A = this chain, B = another copy of it.
Amino acid sequence: MATKTRRRRPLTTQRVLDRAIALADKDGIEALSMRRLGQALGVEAMSLYKHVANKGELVAAMVDAVVEQFELPDDEPAWDAAIRRCAIRAHDLLIEHPWACGLALVPSDSRSVAGPRVRYMEWLLRRLREAGFSPELAYSAYHTLDSHIFGFTLWQLGHADAIKALEAGDGESVEELAARILEQMRPRYPYLAEHGEQHMAADAPDGKQEFEFGLDLILDGLKRQRRARA
Protein backbone atom coordinates (compact mmCIF):
# COMPACT_ATOMS: atom_id res chain seq x y z
CA MET A 1 0.00 0.00 0.00
CA ALA A 2 2.72 2.39 0.87
CA THR A 3 4.85 1.60 -2.14
CA LYS A 4 2.77 2.83 -5.00
CA THR A 5 -0.99 2.78 -4.49
CA ARG A 6 -0.67 1.00 -7.89
CA ARG A 7 -2.17 -2.01 -6.22
CA ARG A 8 -4.53 -3.26 -8.84
CA ARG A 9 -7.31 -5.46 -7.56
CA PRO A 10 -6.34 -9.04 -8.22
CA LEU A 11 -7.48 -10.91 -11.28
CA THR A 12 -10.50 -13.14 -11.04
CA THR A 13 -11.85 -15.74 -13.39
CA GLN A 14 -14.74 -13.39 -14.06
CA ARG A 15 -12.51 -10.47 -14.95
CA VAL A 16 -10.49 -12.65 -17.30
CA LEU A 17 -13.68 -13.91 -18.90
CA ASP A 18 -15.15 -10.44 -19.33
CA ARG A 19 -12.00 -9.06 -20.87
CA ALA A 20 -11.71 -12.04 -23.18
CA ILE A 21 -15.24 -11.48 -24.42
CA ALA A 22 -14.60 -7.77 -24.89
CA LEU A 23 -11.42 -8.48 -26.79
CA ALA A 24 -13.08 -11.06 -29.02
CA ASP A 25 -15.97 -8.69 -29.70
CA LYS A 26 -13.56 -5.94 -30.69
CA ASP A 27 -10.85 -7.74 -32.67
CA GLY A 28 -12.32 -11.13 -33.47
CA ILE A 29 -11.72 -14.50 -31.89
CA GLU A 30 -8.63 -15.15 -33.98
CA ALA A 31 -6.96 -12.14 -32.35
CA LEU A 32 -7.59 -13.52 -28.88
CA SER A 33 -4.33 -14.99 -27.65
CA MET A 34 -3.31 -15.59 -24.09
CA ARG A 35 -0.51 -13.08 -24.49
CA ARG A 36 -2.79 -10.37 -25.81
CA LEU A 37 -5.42 -11.09 -23.21
CA GLY A 38 -2.82 -10.84 -20.48
CA GLN A 39 -1.62 -7.57 -21.93
CA ALA A 40 -5.17 -6.22 -21.92
CA LEU A 41 -5.36 -7.06 -18.23
CA GLY A 42 -1.94 -5.65 -17.39
CA VAL A 43 -0.52 -9.06 -16.67
CA GLU A 44 1.73 -11.69 -18.22
CA ALA A 45 0.14 -14.47 -20.23
CA MET A 46 1.05 -17.21 -17.78
CA SER A 47 -0.70 -15.43 -14.93
CA LEU A 48 -3.99 -16.21 -16.60
CA TYR A 49 -3.47 -19.88 -15.94
CA LYS A 50 -4.09 -19.26 -12.25
CA HIS A 51 -7.67 -18.45 -13.18
CA VAL A 52 -8.46 -20.58 -16.22
CA ALA A 53 -7.31 -24.12 -16.87
CA ASN A 54 -6.34 -23.46 -20.48
CA LYS A 55 -7.51 -21.58 -23.52
CA GLY A 56 -10.07 -24.20 -24.48
CA GLU A 57 -11.82 -23.89 -21.15
CA LEU A 58 -11.75 -20.13 -21.38
CA VAL A 59 -13.32 -20.16 -24.82
CA ALA A 60 -15.95 -22.64 -23.70
CA ALA A 61 -16.80 -20.35 -20.79
CA MET A 62 -17.05 -17.42 -23.20
CA VAL A 63 -19.55 -19.29 -25.34
CA ASP A 64 -21.51 -20.34 -22.28
CA ALA A 65 -21.68 -16.73 -21.17
CA VAL A 66 -23.41 -15.86 -24.43
CA VAL A 67 -25.76 -18.84 -24.55
CA GLU A 68 -26.69 -18.13 -20.96
CA GLN A 69 -28.34 -14.93 -22.14
CA PHE A 70 -30.66 -16.78 -24.49
CA GLU A 71 -34.23 -15.99 -23.56
CA LEU A 72 -36.32 -19.07 -22.76
CA PRO A 73 -39.75 -17.50 -22.35
CA ASP A 74 -42.19 -19.66 -20.40
CA ASP A 75 -44.64 -16.84 -19.91
CA GLU A 76 -45.53 -17.14 -23.57
CA PRO A 77 -48.22 -19.81 -23.92
CA ALA A 78 -48.09 -20.16 -27.71
CA TRP A 79 -45.28 -22.55 -28.59
CA ASP A 80 -44.53 -20.90 -31.91
CA ALA A 81 -44.38 -17.40 -30.47
CA ALA A 82 -42.18 -18.62 -27.63
CA ILE A 83 -39.75 -20.38 -29.94
CA ARG A 84 -39.79 -17.43 -32.28
CA ARG A 85 -38.81 -15.06 -29.49
CA CYS A 86 -36.11 -17.43 -28.29
CA ALA A 87 -34.68 -17.83 -31.77
CA ILE A 88 -34.67 -14.11 -32.52
CA ARG A 89 -33.04 -13.25 -29.22
CA ALA A 90 -30.46 -15.96 -29.81
CA HIS A 91 -29.79 -14.59 -33.27
CA ASP A 92 -29.34 -11.08 -31.86
CA LEU A 93 -26.89 -12.31 -29.27
CA LEU A 94 -24.90 -14.37 -31.74
CA ILE A 95 -24.61 -11.40 -34.08
CA GLU A 96 -23.54 -9.24 -31.17
CA HIS A 97 -20.80 -11.75 -30.33
CA PRO A 98 -19.83 -12.99 -33.78
CA TRP A 99 -17.16 -15.37 -32.49
CA ALA A 100 -19.63 -17.34 -30.40
CA CYS A 101 -21.66 -18.90 -33.18
CA GLY A 102 -18.99 -21.02 -34.78
CA LEU A 103 -17.74 -22.13 -31.41
CA ALA A 104 -21.18 -23.04 -30.13
CA LEU A 105 -21.85 -25.04 -33.27
CA VAL A 106 -18.88 -27.28 -32.62
CA PRO A 107 -19.51 -28.36 -29.03
CA SER A 108 -15.75 -28.76 -28.47
CA ASP A 109 -15.47 -30.39 -25.04
CA SER A 110 -19.06 -31.19 -24.23
CA ARG A 111 -19.05 -30.49 -20.55
CA SER A 112 -21.08 -33.62 -19.77
CA VAL A 113 -24.62 -32.66 -18.80
CA ALA A 114 -24.85 -29.10 -17.67
CA GLY A 115 -24.32 -25.59 -18.82
CA PRO A 116 -26.51 -23.12 -20.62
CA ARG A 117 -26.38 -24.95 -23.92
CA VAL A 118 -28.04 -27.97 -22.39
CA ARG A 119 -30.64 -25.85 -20.62
CA TYR A 120 -31.53 -24.24 -23.93
CA MET A 121 -31.81 -27.61 -25.67
CA GLU A 122 -34.08 -28.93 -22.94
CA TRP A 123 -36.29 -25.86 -23.14
CA LEU A 124 -36.70 -26.07 -26.89
CA LEU A 125 -37.48 -29.77 -26.81
CA ARG A 126 -39.93 -29.32 -23.96
CA ARG A 127 -41.83 -26.56 -25.71
CA LEU A 128 -42.17 -28.71 -28.80
CA ARG A 129 -43.33 -31.78 -26.93
CA GLU A 130 -45.72 -29.80 -24.73
CA ALA A 131 -47.16 -28.24 -27.86
CA GLY A 132 -48.25 -31.68 -28.91
CA PHE A 133 -45.44 -32.63 -31.23
CA SER A 134 -44.85 -36.36 -31.34
CA PRO A 135 -41.42 -37.50 -30.19
CA GLU A 136 -40.52 -38.23 -33.81
CA LEU A 137 -41.61 -34.86 -35.12
CA ALA A 138 -40.05 -33.02 -32.18
CA TYR A 139 -36.80 -34.82 -32.97
CA SER A 140 -36.67 -33.46 -36.49
CA ALA A 141 -38.15 -30.11 -35.57
CA TYR A 142 -35.46 -29.58 -32.98
CA HIS A 143 -32.72 -30.32 -35.48
CA THR A 144 -34.16 -27.98 -38.04
CA LEU A 145 -34.72 -25.13 -35.62
CA ASP A 146 -31.39 -25.44 -33.84
CA SER A 147 -29.52 -25.71 -37.09
CA HIS A 148 -31.31 -22.66 -38.43
CA ILE A 149 -30.49 -20.59 -35.36
CA PHE A 150 -26.81 -21.41 -35.38
CA GLY A 151 -26.36 -22.32 -39.02
CA PHE A 152 -28.08 -19.36 -40.60
CA THR A 153 -26.38 -16.97 -38.20
CA LEU A 154 -22.97 -18.38 -38.96
CA TRP A 155 -23.77 -18.19 -42.64
CA GLN A 156 -24.77 -14.56 -42.24
CA LEU A 157 -21.63 -13.79 -40.28
CA GLY A 158 -19.51 -15.38 -42.96
CA HIS A 159 -20.95 -13.11 -45.58
CA ALA A 160 -20.54 -10.10 -43.31
CA ASP A 161 -16.88 -11.03 -42.89
CA ALA A 162 -16.45 -11.26 -46.64
CA ILE A 163 -17.76 -7.74 -47.05
CA LYS A 164 -15.53 -6.49 -44.28
CA ALA A 165 -12.55 -8.12 -45.99
CA LEU A 166 -13.47 -6.33 -49.20
CA GLU A 167 -13.58 -2.86 -47.71
CA ALA A 168 -10.33 -3.44 -45.88
CA GLY A 169 -8.63 -3.98 -49.22
CA ASP A 170 -9.02 -0.61 -50.85
CA GLY A 171 -9.56 2.93 -49.86
CA GLU A 172 -12.51 2.80 -52.22
CA SER A 173 -15.93 2.92 -50.60
CA VAL A 174 -17.78 -0.34 -50.34
CA GLU A 175 -20.55 0.91 -52.56
CA GLU A 176 -18.22 1.92 -55.38
CA LEU A 177 -16.27 -1.29 -55.14
CA ALA A 178 -19.41 -3.42 -55.05
CA ALA A 179 -20.88 -1.58 -58.03
CA ARG A 180 -17.71 -2.18 -60.01
CA ILE A 181 -17.63 -5.88 -59.18
CA LEU A 182 -21.32 -6.14 -60.00
CA GLU A 183 -20.81 -4.72 -63.47
CA GLN A 184 -17.83 -6.97 -63.98
CA MET A 185 -19.84 -10.09 -63.28
CA ARG A 186 -23.12 -9.11 -64.91
CA PRO A 187 -22.34 -10.57 -68.35
CA ARG A 188 -21.51 -14.02 -67.07
CA TYR A 189 -23.60 -14.07 -63.91
CA PRO A 190 -26.69 -11.95 -64.48
CA TYR A 191 -28.77 -13.47 -61.71
CA LEU A 192 -25.98 -13.11 -59.22
CA ALA A 193 -25.61 -9.49 -60.28
CA GLU A 194 -29.32 -8.98 -59.73
CA HIS A 195 -28.97 -10.53 -56.30
CA GLY A 196 -26.06 -8.27 -55.52
CA GLU A 197 -28.06 -5.25 -56.55
CA GLN A 198 -30.81 -6.23 -54.19
CA HIS A 199 -28.28 -6.38 -51.39
CA MET A 200 -27.12 -2.86 -52.20
CA ALA A 201 -30.64 -1.44 -52.23
CA ALA A 202 -31.45 0.86 -49.35
CA ASP A 203 -34.61 -1.03 -48.43
CA ALA A 204 -33.04 -4.46 -48.76
CA PRO A 205 -34.03 -6.90 -46.05
CA ASP A 206 -31.12 -7.20 -43.64
CA GLY A 207 -29.79 -10.31 -41.98
CA LYS A 208 -32.28 -10.10 -39.18
CA GLN A 209 -35.25 -10.06 -41.53
CA GLU A 210 -33.84 -12.87 -43.60
CA PHE A 211 -33.28 -14.92 -40.48
CA GLU A 212 -36.93 -14.46 -39.60
CA PHE A 213 -38.01 -15.34 -43.13
CA GLY A 214 -36.35 -18.71 -42.85
CA LEU A 215 -37.51 -19.15 -39.28
CA ASP A 216 -41.14 -18.54 -40.24
CA LEU A 217 -40.82 -20.87 -43.19
CA ILE A 218 -39.70 -23.57 -40.78
CA LEU A 219 -42.29 -22.78 -38.12
CA ASP A 220 -45.10 -22.77 -40.67
CA GLY A 221 -43.90 -26.05 -42.09
CA LEU A 222 -43.76 -27.56 -38.63
CA LYS A 223 -47.30 -26.44 -37.86
CA ARG A 224 -48.50 -28.09 -41.01
CA GLN A 225 -46.60 -31.27 -40.28
CA ARG A 226 -48.06 -31.41 -36.80
CA ARG A 227 -51.55 -31.06 -38.18
CA ALA A 228 -50.96 -33.61 -40.91
CA ARG A 229 -49.66 -36.22 -38.49
CA ALA A 230 -52.12 -35.48 -35.68
A residues in contact (CB < 8 Å) with B:
102, 105-110, 112-113, 118, 121-122, 125-126, 129, 135-136, 138-140, 142-144, 146-148, 150-152, 154-159, 161-162, 165-166, 181, 184-185, 188-189, 191-192, 194-195, 198, 204-205, 210, 213-214, 217-218, 220-222, 224-225
Report the separation of the CA atoms of residues A159 and B146 in the bound assembly, to the nearest whole angstrom: 12
The verdict on A125 contacting B192 (CB below 8 Å), with A106-B162, A185-B113, A210-B140 known, is yes
Chain B positions within 8 Å of A146 at CB level: 155
Q: Is the interface of A mostly helix, strand, loop or mixed?
A: helix
Report the separation of the CA atoms of residues A221 and B161 in the bound assembly, to the nearest whole angstrom: 29
Q: Identify 17 residue pairs between A and B in the complex whose beta-carbon atoms are under 8 Å apart, listed by A's number.
A: A102-B102, A106-B157, A107-B158, A118-B189, A118-B192, A121-B192, A122-B192, A126-B191, A135-B194, A136-B198, A138-B195, A143-B152, A144-B213, A144-B214, A147-B148, A147-B155, A150-B151
- Whether the pair A191, B125 counts as a contact (CB closer than 8 A) is yes
Q: Kindly report how many copies of this chain are found in the complex they form together.
A: 2
Q: Which of B138, B195, B214 contacts A139 (CB 8 A)?
A: B195
Chain B positions within 8 Å of A222 at CB level: 217
Chain B positions within 8 Å of A152 at CB level: 143-144, 147-148, 151
- Whether the pair A105, B158 counts as a contact (CB closer than 8 A) is yes
The verdict on A150 contacting B139 (CB below 8 Å), with A112-B181, A122-B191 known, is no
| Other contacts beyond A106-B158, A147-B151, A148-B151: 18, CB < 8 A | A102-B102, A105-B154, A107-B161, A107-B162, A112-B184, A113-B185, A113-B188, A122-B188, A125-B192, A129-B194, A135-B198, A140-B213, A140-B214, A143-B210, A144-B214, A148-B152, A151-B154, A220-B224
Q: Which 4 interchain pairs have the tightest Cβ spacing?
A: A151-B151, A217-B221, A125-B191, A113-B185
Report the separation of the CA atoms of residues A107 and B142 in the bound assembly, to the nearest whole angstrom: 28
Nearest chain B CB to A188's CB is how many angstroms away? 8
- Whether the pair B166, A110 counts as a contact (CB closer than 8 A) is yes
Chain B positions within 8 Å of A142 at CB level: 195
Quick one: closest B residue to A124, CB to CB?
B191
